[in-house]
Structures are given as structure tokens and as C-alpha cells.
Structure 1
Amino acid sequence: MFSITRRLSWGTALSVLDFSLCLIFVCLHGASFSLGNLTSQFGSFSFFSSTIDLLLLCLVRMGLFLLPTGLYYSNKSHLLPYMIQPIFCISLLMYAVSPTKLLLLVEKIPSGTPLYFGDYAILIWNFVASMILDTSWRTYFSKPPSAYVPLEEEEDEETRHRNTFELIVRLLQYCKREWVWHVSGFSWLFIYSVTRIFVPYYTGQVIATVVATKSYPALATAVYVMTVISLVSALAAGFRGGSFEYAYARINRAIRYDLFAGLIKQEVAFFDAHKTGEIASRLAADCQTMSDTVALNVNVFLRNCVMLLGSMIFMMTLSWRLSLVTFILVPIIFVASKIFGTYYDFLSEKTQNAIADSNDVAEEVISTMRTVRSFACENVESDRFYEKLTVTLKITKTKAIAYVGFLWVSELFQTFIIVAVLWYGGHLVLQQKLKADLLVSFLLYQMQLGDNLRQMGEVWTGLMQSVGASRKVFEYIDRQPRIEHKGTMQPPEVKGRIEFRNIHFSYPIRSAIPILRDLSFTVEPGETVALVGPSGSGKSSCISLLENFYQPNAGQVLIDGVPLEEYEHHYIHKKIALVGQEPVLFARSVKENIRYCVDATEEQVIEAAEMANAHSFIMQTTMRYETNVGEKGSQMSGGQKQRIAIARAIVREPAILLLDEATSALDTESESIVQEAIYKNLDGKSVILIAHRLSTVEKADKIIVINKGRVEQIGNHEQLLRQTEGTYAKLVQRQMMGDDKKRKPRSPPAGTSNPQQQQAGSMARKISPRDPSGVPMSLLSTSFSASSATSH
């Protein structure tokens, strides 16, 4: 970090050095050093003989060297980063001054007469000083001083806004990975480009031969050479195109794989904060844009570089004066390309974001088509998607207008270059400084050079489009997950003792809302524990923490006395199986879903399906275990999906089984059968289940009542019913009273003194896995508010 004082000293030193050297070189505009050489140019100034105008240009550079200091003291240092691009463009224009001035100085002197030493020196120094100006602003002046911006904030800003050049270099690294195919492509590219370089020269020879000699043998020789060159060029072009096309496909695969591999390593909270459609758009549209544009533009860039270099060499040999005319206008074209490229980068990023938004809407609607159809909202969703597409269209319209402006400027400058070369070339021919027959070849090279420059300008535009698409992709690839799986423990056996110790937790996307508050409980090996509580009390959050989807803000989750994060990621998730409230199946066969990521035999798959009461309905399908369940299990009913999910958990033979409303979609009969299978075949397994049905809860060895993120009660069904003032008994009492309204009230048992205790005592005898009326009983069908729980 540089202080204001050091920046002031640096800017002042450069200004003094620039002015001093320019002053000395102007005084050397003669046979010897003299102040008279300076003063005489003021009296008889001429663009064709004076260099005093370069001294005036030096004053402009001095102002730009001292500009940062002025911005610091006027409290406008925040403008410094925005000045880099204008300074770069000004520097490019200053580069063009040197060749322009050289042509003017040699115009009036006899051919072969050298310039003064001071003239050469000031022309070279103007070029060097312009380069120093651009470099100083990029590396020194544009950094905010430490007195204004803390180091940490600057580093954060640099992290958020990647440098465009760094992104381009990183994009090119994907080309480096496929070096074999690129070497092949570049080899054929070099052959193609070299052959194309000779085409203008021999074209000029053909024209000159016809006009000057009118000799058929000379014409035949020139045409023969042209034919051979064209055939070699066509052959090389084909091999070049094939090599690069295959390289594009491999680059596309590499980019998509890197992004997908980076995404699936992220913690679950990342997917809570980012929409699925947006992520899918990054994988599809952005990666495609990156792979196509960067690889294609590398091909075009290298081809034009070779042809540009060859054309410039031929042009310099034909006429260095005419070549300088081209070199004067090239920086001006680069300025236009730079301005447009920077703006195009900004618009490309906005375009990709808009495309991601529209893709997110499409993915959301298509994946929830049944809900959309049930509410007859097809037109509403179509209009919403159309609005997103309209936003993309508006940005694309702006890009199109900007591109029109860029093409106008580019085409006008190319036309101006050709006109300038024609006029100046004709002038040199009339002055007998250039042979007439070489002017034709030079003009052909000039047109080829103009086409090369135009394509290189489009390369920059394409690279900016890639940069715009790559920002978010590289951000996802480089993002380090907040939960890293660095555990290494793989004990030979997991007994299944689970302990939640003083857990405090809130979801990352809602960090201000606490979910669990100092929650503690223990599940012993082989014990079945039911978590009961109102919606939003934190039951499912306990399951998520146990699956290591999130990490607690404070406290620890332990398995067999070891913190969960110390276990090896793949190992512990083979020992823990989860059946969620809304199980998601993959668009694969039933068998593939059951044996997902497990090397299970067909017999084990069938056995698991039988335990989950899924075998019978599977055998009734057309393809049986090879039946495709459809996207997210859309070809199966809710109960069928849950039974397949239960079978998927059972086949893993877990030490810990987590059931989050795993039987909520089953009918009463199927639920009873599945429960019997679970309880009968999971001896020695620790089970945590979340259920709203009393028939599921009452069989648990231990019931934990969670309310507002805290444990309120712990005990079995009978124990909690005896705690008549407890939440659990009040809920059961309220439900039983609600059920009694549908049936004739029964008389309380004789000999009881407290009517409330009489009723509570009879509940344990009355409640059975299936209500006589056939209606599933829900613990959460009543309110958990204090007023409703005690109203009776």
C-alpha cells in the first residue's frame, strides 16, 4: 500500500523526467545542442520540420502524471479505478503520434537524408513515455491510498471484482489442457496462414505481368504458383478446423465438469440461497458460451496474428512509409475496440444473469407442472417467463446498438486507411519513391491487414463475452464450501449412540432467526426415539444436523462420543440412512433407485423392498424392478415413492436410521405393515423418527417433545401421559376429546377421584396403532398454543 506522499513524489518525478528529456531532445533539433533550436521553432513552426509540438504533448502527459495527486486532495480518490481505461486509450493515441510525426519529418527532406539525433530520440521517448504513463496508472496510481481505504476492504473488493486479464488467462488455461489437439491445430494453422500471406504478393505479380510484360509464360508461372498455394491452404484449413473443433468439445467437457464438481461439493446452505434454474443455466448456457467463444477466438486470434505479422513484414519490405500509415491508424482502431470491449463485457454479464433468471423460471414451472395445472396458471406462468425474456431482449438490444456503433467505427477507419494508403501511395509513386507495380501488391496486403485487424477486434469482443459468462462460473468453481469434509475416522463398527450436546442453530440464509436453543438429548444404541413438536419447532433441523447438512452455531453432535465432523464423509453416510418427508427418486429404474450408491445384490434389493412393503406393487408394474419411476418419481404415487425410499435406506443396513415423516403418505394399513417391518428388522439399530401420527409415536422407546427449539419433555408414551400438565398429555387429551365428539362419550372408570387423571389414565389403554374409525390420528392436528392446549 502506497501513501499519498510517495504517489506525489512518483508523479512529480515522472513529470520532471518527461519534460526534461523532451526539452533536451527539442534542443537537439539541429547539428548540435542549442537553446536556439528551441526558440527558432516557435517563430517558424511547421508540422513538417518542427518537433516543438511533441514538447506540448509532453505537457499533457505531465498533467496525467499529476492527476492522481489532485484527486487525492480533492477527496475524489474513488474515481481512480475508473480512470484506468481512459488513460489506456489516451496512451494508445499517443503511440500513434510517433509514426505520424516521422512521416511528416521525412516528407520534405531528400530521400536517404537522415533526421537529427534529437528527432529520433524524441520520437522514441514519446512512445516510451506513453507506455510508462499507462503502466504507472495500472500498477501504482489506481490503488487507493492506505489513508483512505483499509487493507481488508481493498482485498475484499479485489476478490469480488476479478481482473479481466486474469479471467482471460484462466480461460486460456483450458486450451493448455488440450495441448495435443491445439498443437495439431496450430501447426496446420501456421501452414494455412503462411500460404495465405503469399496470395496478395502473387496476385500483384499476375496483374503486373499482364499489364507490363503481356507474356503468357510469365502469366502461367504466376498462376501455377497461385494454384499450388491455394491447394495447400485449403488442405491445411480442413485439418486446422477439425483439430480445433474437437478441442472445443474437450474444453466444453472440462469446463462443465469443473463447475459441476465444484457445485456438488458445496454445503446444503449454498443450494438454499441459489435457485436450481440459475445453477442449471450456468452449467448449460454459460459453459457453452465460454467453451465456444474462448476456443474459437484463440483460433481466430492466432491465425490473424500469423497473417498480420507476415503481412506487416511484406509491407515493410515493399514500402516502410506506406506501412507507417497503417501503423498510425491501428492504435485508433484498438481504442475503439477497447471501449466497446469493456462495455460489451458489462453487457455480456448482464445478459448471462438475465438468461439465468429466465431459465430459473422455466425450470421451476416445468418441475412443478402438476401444481401449475391444478391452479390453471399456465397463462400466468407464460407471462412471467415472457417478462424475463423481455428483460434479456432489452439487454441484447443494447448490445446490438453498441455493436452497430463499433462496426461503423471499425469500417470507417478501415475505409479511411485504404483511402489514405491510396492517396499517399499515389503521392510516393509520383514522387518516384515507390515503384508503381508494388503499389498493387501493397494495396492487397493492406486489405488483408484490414481484415485481420477487424477479426482481431471481434476476437476481443468474443473474449469479453467469455469473460462476462465466466465470472459466475469461476466464482462457483473457486468457492470453498463452508462445511468441509476433512474427517478421517473410520472405526470398524458404529454402535449408534447419538448425542446432541447444547446445540444452538439457525439456518445460514436466516441467521437472525434461532431454530434450536441449547438443545440436548441422547439416543442410546438400538433405541427408537420419536421427536414430537409443532411445525417449525426444530425437529427436521435435528435430522439435518445429524446428516451434516449444516453445522451448529454452538454445541456438538456426537456419534459414539465422537464429533460428527471427525468421521470420514463417505463412511459415516453409509452408516446413517435418511428417509425424508418428501422423498425424491431419480429418473431411473426401481432397482437402481433402491441400490443407489450401494453394491447390493438383486436378492438384497428384493428383500429390502419386501421389508418396506414395496415388493407387491413393484411386481404389478410392467417392467417390475426395471420400471422407470420417472423424473423425481413422477410415475409413482406418494405412498409408493415413500416405500421405495424406505427400501433404499434399509438395503444399506445402516447403524442409524432417520425417518422424517417417512410414512406420512401411506394409508393406515400400509403404514402398519411398514412399521412392523421396520421395528422387526432393525434390531440393534438406532432410530430417530419424526411423526405426527400417534400410532407411530407410541411405539417409540423414548419420546422427546421439542417446542421452540428446546426439549420440553422426555419419556415413553405412558410416562408422558401421566404428566397431565405436560404438553404431550395435553395434545393427546385435546385430540381424544376431538375424536369423542364423533362418538358417544364413554363413562370414566370407577374408583378414580380426579376426572382429568381418569381420562389421562384411560388414554394409554384406548389408543391403538389404528383408530377404530380408520382415521389416522395426528398429534399436530391441534394447536400448540397455551390457550388451546388448556382450554378444556
Structure 2
Amino acid sequence: MVYYSIQNYFMLKERLPNPILLALRISKTQWKKIGLAFVCITLATILRGVLPYIMKQIVDAATVITPGIGADTSIVWWYAVLYIAIILLSYVFIWIKGLASTKARANMGHSVRTTVHKHIAQHSNAYFSKHFSGNLANKINNADTSVGLFFQLMNMFWPVFLRLIVAIILAFSANISIALLMLSWLFVFVPVNLALLKRIKQLSKKHAQIKSDFTGQVVDFISNITLVKIFSKEKDELQRIRNVSKQRLHTNITLYGYKTQMNLINNVLQGVMLAVVLFYSLFLWQNSIITFGDVIMFFGITASIRGAMIGIAESIDLFFDQYGQLEEGLETLLKPHDIIDKKGAQNTPLLHGDIQFNSVSFKYNGVYVFKNLNLHIPENQKVGIVGHSGAGKTTLLKLLLRLYDIQKGEIVIDKKNIQDITQNSLRQHMSTVTQEPEMFNRSIYENISYGFNTTKKAVLGAAKIAHAHEFIQKLPKKYDTVVGERGVTLSGGQKQRIAIARAVIKNAPILILDEATSALDSESETLIQDAFQTLMKDKTVIAIAHRLSTLLAMDRIIVLEKGKIIEDGNHKTLLKKKGVYASMWKKQSGGYLKE
């Protein structure tokens, strides 16, 4: 399946179309089914729209016939059969519409969810750092609401519009004065409703934003419940949630006030139309201007329109509530990507791992993290990076992985600017083990083999190298054990060993270690030092560590301070300089660098 590219649309337009049009653009493959459904609902509505006219013919024919033996009532029976036939035919069209729209709706929902998820996956780290994860998940889950709204428009709003058109045509065919009366009513009804709907749409969007904030606050509270309890901050957090809930309450009151106002105005307008049309048509009949069949037809038309309007009024609340949530959600989800592959970017093999930062400048939230940074890490060199918190250590690694884009300079690997390489190709040539390893709520086997079509033997071998095999074998389901959300069932050290095993399988030429042993005790760390030696062989390695003793075997150690390289050399050389590194080494307690 070829998916609609939202990012390509952004390159041509400033903003996305409304959610319903977006759903249609994403689902081009379903246009034939949608077209069939649209034609069927149109035909069914037109057929039902002419039923009051057929009833008029029955009444007019019946009123001129004297019942009894010998009376010719064939015309009445003919119209009666026609009336039933039209109803049955409309049912056939509705049945066909149901079959076509059911298949189209399911496929459209799948296309929308897949396209939105694909777009989300390509957002940068900066994007995800600004949004609650639970909030985003909720918005993604609601993305296919646009499909339901489209079919609601087609199945409910479009038929009402058609009924009005058919009703006015029938009215003009019977009596121009009543037709003009109905038309005048429309010129009042439509502008009034459009004005009210515009305000309701704005309030629905605002309500959706506050509702989204409320959900985010609740998810944040639950995610950090242990921290809340440790600091006895339950009351403070509940007050924070209560404040957002009050905003939601006030918006709710205003929104539903407008909806109640709209329902009242519509009921009055519809009641006035029904009464005026009925009494005026009776007046015309009394003066022999129209037939009694015309009276029945006008009454049937107005009653039918009023019934449809009541149905819309009952659904309008849900429609605009969903529309507001969807519009607000898609505005968040479908922002343009701030890190994209440039046109012509190549899937380039990076086999050596020679890394250069050339006059690199990078700002985060308007503040320089690096300014004109120059750094060269030759192929297969093992480099340790140290520095106090905020020095830019982890940011340096994120720039190398192109999780953020630099504002000035270039980052070059094997003499190729990383912006000339596709992001996937770049990251395929790097293995990472971080301070807080990412874990899926899947089995240990799936977590180790993630991203690779590998063998069970390779997974077990990697686990043994990472000294993870021992504890895995003690688990009830061994490698089939599901680790829970973010690996909650595992200790920090166990998660890091699984991450190390994952890096062993990937065997990329560039290895990035960001506090890779921070969650290991001294005994466990000693066990996997040999594993690291094996893992680092013939690779370019960049390692961040607060435990400076883990960097003794590095070819080179770089000291960062406020985004600048202030010292560069191996362990012995830096100790002899008696500078910042020597001071750090001296101040360590239990092997760790004090922040």
C-alpha cells in the first residue's frame, strides 16, 4: 500500500486541510466505494423525498372517486403500489450503500491510523520532549475519528440538504407562494445556524485542548505516583488536576450553553415553519387555490424536514465534540517534521566510523550548547567524554545520531556529511547503550533481537556475552518473559545488560555508550568488562561515564565544560596536567564523579 505523505503536503501548503478532507486524501484507494455509497444515499434520499408527492397523488385521486361497486380506483392502487415500490427501492440503495461504506470505512480507518503513526514516528526528539506520551497516544487513537465524521456528514447532513432541495422543487411545482415562504425560512435558518455552529466549533476545539491537558496531567500524575508519595505531594498534584478540571468545567458550561441555545432557536424556527406552512396551505385549500393532496404533501415535506433536523440536533453535540478533539489532536500530531532527509539523501554505508565535528554550533531553547565545536575521532578510536551536568555530553551524542539538527557547521562520518545520508542509514551504523535503556512491553527475546531478523542462537550468544543469560534463565518463562511497560519488571542493571546484548547483535561500526554501566553494581560491572572489550573491538567508541574508572582503557578522554573541550588526552596524561580531570578523579567517591 502506498501511504499519503503528510510531510510532502507541508512542502506544498502552509497547513493541512480540515480533518475530513485529510481523511479523503489519505484514502484515495477507497474513492470508488465512497462514490458508490454517495450515489446510493443520494438516490435513496431523492426517492424518499418524492414520497410526499406520491401521497398527494393518492389523496387527490381518492377525493374525486366515490367509493363503491363499479368505481374505478385503479389510479389510486397504481400510486399506492408506486409508493411501496419507491420505499423498497430506497431500501435496496441503502443496503448497497451500507455494504460499500462498511468496507470503505474500515479501510479508511486503517489508512488514517497508519499514515498518522508513520508521520509521528518521524518526529524529532525535541517534539516528543514537549508532549505528554499518554496525551499523544490518546490523540493517535482518536485519529481515525475523521473517517466517522465523514460518514456522518454523508449519511446525515447530506440527506437533509438533499431533502430541502427536493422539498423546494416540489413546493414550486405546487404553489409558488408556499415555495417562497419555505425559501425565506431557509434564508433565516441557515445564517443563524452557521453563526452558532462557528462559535460551537471554536468552543469545542478549546474544550478539546483543555480535555487533552487534563488527560496529560492525570497520566503524568500516575506515571510519577512513587515520586508523589515519597514527597507527600498528593494534595498538591490533586490541586493541579483540580485547577485544569475547573477550566474544563467552565468551558463545558459555555459550550453546552451555546448548544442549548442553538437547539432552542432551531426548535422555534422549525415549529414556526411547520405551523405557518400547515395553516397557510389549509388557507389556500379553503380558497380552492391548491388541492387537499397539496396540503398533505406540504405537511409531509415539513414534517420530514423537521424530523431530519431533530436527528441532526441530537447528533450535533457529538459531531462537534469529536471534530474539536480531532482538529486539536491532528494539529499536535501532524506538525511538519523539523528533521527531515534532504532531497537526494543516500543510503550510504559507513564502514569505518571516522567522525568529525567541524565548527559545530547548536542552540537548544535559544541557548547555545555548542559554539564552533571542533572534534575529530579517528576510525576505531575509543573516546571517553566526561564533564559536569549540563556540559553537553549527551547532547553531543544526540547530534551525532541526528536526533537534533545543528544550526551551523557540519558533522562528518567517513568524509560524508550526515545530512547527506538518510536518517535510517545513519543510525543503522550506530549501536547505543544508554543510562535508561528503552524496553518494549514484549518478551526478553523480542527486546534483545529488536530491529534484526536474527537467529535464536545469536540472541542467546549475545545474552551470554552481556552476562544477561544467567538471570534470564532464572525467570519463569526465561526468554519468553514479558518485561512490562518500559521493562518495569526488571532491575536497572538487568535492563542495561539486555541493551548491551542488543548492541552485540547489531555489531555496528560506531558504538555509543551513555552511562552504559551506571545501573550495575561493582561485581556485575567487573563481569561485563570483558564483554565490553569484545564489543568495542574494531569499532569507534564514544563513552560517557560518571564512574571515571570505567574510562581507564580508553585511548582518549575529552573533558567538556559548558559546550567546550577544555582538556583532551589519555588518563595518565590528563592526571599529569593536574587540571579539571585530575580534580574530578581526586574528588570521586566510590568510583563516581560527584555532580
TM-score calculated relative to the size of structure 1: 0.67
Does residue 391 in structure 1 map to residue 247 in structure 2? yes
What is the identity, as a one-letter code, of the residue corresponding to 1:240? K
From 149, 152, 159, the equivalent of 1:303 is 159
1:621-655 per-residue CA deviation (whole Å, 9 max, x = no partner) reads 12211211111111111100111111111210110
| Cα distance, 1:392–1:249 mapped onto 2, change above 3 Å | farther
How many equivalent pairs are there?
577
| Cα distance, 1:493–1:437 mapped onto 2, change above 3 Å | closer
Does residue 279 in structure 1 map to residue 131 in structure 2? no
Shift of 1:293: 1.9
Does residue 556 in structure 1 map to residue 370 in structure 2? no
- Secondary structure at the aligned position of 2:119 is classed as helix
Does residue 674 in structure 1 map to residue 528 in structure 2? yes
1:421-450 per-residue CA deviation (whole Å, 9 max, x = no partner) reads 233223322433222332222221222234
CA–CA distance in 2 between the matches of 1:469 and 1:176? 24
What is the identity, as a one-letter code, of the residue corresponding to 2:190? F
Partner of 2:279: 423
Contact 2:348 2:425 in 1 (8 A): no
Partner of 2:7: none
Partner of 2:9: none
Partner of 2:8: none
From 492, 516, 522, the equivalent of 1:662 is 516
CA–CA distance in 2 between the matches of 1:237 and 1:387? 48
What is the identity, as a one-letter code, of the residue corresponding to 2:138? S
1:591-641 per-residue CA deviation (whole Å, 9 max, x = no partner) reads 111111122221211121111111111111122112111111111111001
Contact 1:281 1:360 in 2 (8 A): no
CA–CA distance in 1 between the matches of 2:134 and 2:163? 44
Shift of 1:532: 1.1
Contact 2:27 2:108 in 1 (8 A): yes
Shift of 1:709: 1.4
Shift of 1:259: 2.2
Partner of 1:414: 270
- Secondary structure at the aligned position of 1:485 is classed as coil
Report matched runs for 1:220-239 at 5 Å.
223-239=80-96
Shift of 1:356: 1.4
Partner of 1:609: 463
Partner of 1:524: 378
1:756-789 per-residue CA deviation (whole Å, 9 max, x = no partner) reads xxxxxxxxxxxxxxxxxxxx411x22x6xxxxxx
Contact 2:356 2:377 in 1 (8 A): yes
Contact 2:26 2:115 in 1 (8 A): no
| Cα distance, 1:383–1:214 mapped onto 2, change above 3 Å | farther
> What residue ranges of structure 1 are gaps of 5+ in the alignment?
1-157, 740-775, 784-792
1:77-111 per-residue CA deviation (whole Å, 9 max, x = no partner) reads xxxxxxxxxxxxxxxxxxxxxxxxxxxxxxxxxxx
From 507, 530, 554, the equivalent of 1:653 is 507
CA–CA distance in 2 between the matches of 1:728 and 1:221? 102
| Cα distance, 1:186–1:491 mapped onto 2, change above 3 Å | closer
CA–CA distance in 2 between the matches of 1:173 and 1:686? 46
Partner of 2:4: none
From 449, 452, 455, the equivalent of 1:595 is 449
CA–CA distance in 2 between the matches of 1:618 and 1:288? 40
- Secondary structure at the aligned position of 1:636 is classed as coil
What is the identity, as a one-letter code, of the residue corresponding to 1:300? M
Does residue 727 in structure 1 map to residue 580 in structure 2? yes
Partner of 2:37: 185
Partner of 2:431: 577
Contact 2:430 2:510 in 1 (8 A): yes
Contact 1:293 1:462 in 2 (8 A): no
Partner of 1:568: 422
| Cα distance, 1:234–1:392 mapped onto 2, change above 3 Å | farther
Report matched runs for 1:532-547 at 5 Å.
532-547=386-401
Q: Percent identity?
A: 27
Report matched runs for 1:340-489 at 5 Å.
340-375=196-231, 377=233, 381-452=237-308, 468-475=324-331, 479-486=335-342, 488-489=345-346
1:321-374 per-residue CA deviation (whole Å, 9 max, x = no partner) reads 211110111010001111111101111210221121122123323333443454
1:466-505 per-residue CA deviation (whole Å, 9 max, x = no partner) reads 6644544554566432222236445555211222233322
Does residue 215 in structure 1 map to residue 67 in structure 2? yes
Shift of 1:465: 5.5
| Cα distance, 1:380–1:629 mapped onto 2, change above 3 Å | same
Shift of 1:671: 0.7
What is the identity, as a one-letter code, of the residue corresponding to 1:721? L
Partner of 2:591: 777
What is the identity, as a one-letter code, of the residue corresponding to 1:194? I
What is the identity, as a one-letter code, of the residue corresponding to 2:121? I
Does residue 197 in structure 1 map to residue 11 in structure 2? no
| Cα distance, 1:374–1:181 mapped onto 2, change above 3 Å | farther
Report matched runs for 1:104-253 at 5 Å.
159=14, 169-170=21-22, 173=25, 177-205=29-57, 213=65, 215=67, 223-253=80-110
Contact 2:27 2:111 in 1 (8 A): no
> What residue ranges of structure 2 are gaps of 5+ in the alignment?
1-12
Shift of 1:237: 3.2
| Cα distance, 1:305–1:174 mapped onto 2, change above 3 Å | farther
Partner of 2:475: 621
Moved more, 389-398 or 557-566: 389-398
CA–CA distance in 2 between the matches of 1:273 and 1:477? 12
Shift of 1:664: 0.2
| Cα distance, 1:289–1:388 mapped onto 2, change above 3 Å | farther
| Cα distance, 1:438–1:554 mapped onto 2, change above 3 Å | closer
Shift of 1:288: 4.5
CA–CA distance in 2 between the matches of 1:175 and 1:432? 55
Partner of 1:705: 559
- Secondary structure at the aligned position of 1:651 is classed as helix
Partner of 2:175: 319
Partner of 1:75: none
From 163, 166, 186, the equivalent of 1:330 is 186
CA–CA distance in 2 between the matches of 1:537 and 1:690? 12
Contact 1:612 1:674 in 2 (8 A): yes
Shift of 1:558: 1.8
If asked which structure has higher relative contact order (CA below 8 Å, sep 6+), I would say 2
1:180-216 per-residue CA deviation (whole Å, 9 max, x = no partner) reads 3223323432343233224323444555566664638
Contact 1:702 1:715 in 2 (8 A): yes
Partner of 1:745: none
What is the identity, as a one-letter code, of the residue corresponding to 2:358? R
CA–CA distance in 2 between the matches of 1:187 and 1:490? 47
Contact 1:341 1:461 in 2 (8 A): no
| Cα distance, 1:168–1:655 mapped onto 2, change above 3 Å | closer
CA–CA distance in 2 between the matches of 1:239 and 1:373? 58
- Secondary structure at the aligned position of 2:356 is classed as strand
What is the identity, as a one-letter code, of the residue corresponding to 2:152? L
CA–CA distance in 2 between the matches of 1:256 and 1:581? 32
Root-mean-square deviation over aligned CA pairs:
2.9
